[in-house]
Amino acid sequence: MTLALVLHDWRILERIVGLTHRLGCSYRSVEVHARDDDCYDARIEFAGSHDALRRLDAQLNRLLDDDKEMCQ
Instruction: Tell me the pLDDT tens digit for each residue of 47-64.
Output: 999 999 999 999 999 988
CATH number reported for the structural domain that contains residue 10 in this entry: 3.30.70.260
Evaluate if pTM is beyond 0.75. Answer: yes
Are residues 13 and 42 in contact, defined by beta-carbon separation less than 8 angstroms? yes
What count of other Cβ atoms lies within 10 Å of the Cβ of residue 46? Answer: 21
Determine, yes or no, domain membership for 71. no
Instruction: Tell me the pLDDT tens digit for each residue of 5-63.
Output: 988 888 889 999 999 999 999 999 999 999 988 889 999 999 999 999 999 999 999 98
Which of 17, 71, 66, 70 minimizes the C-alpha distance to 42? Answer: 17
Determine, yes or no, domain membership for 30. yes
Determine, yes or no, domain membership for 42. yes
- Residue 55: which domain range? 2-66
Determine, yes or no, domain membership for 72. no
In the chain, how many domains are there?
A: 1
Determine, yes or no, domain membership for 25. yes
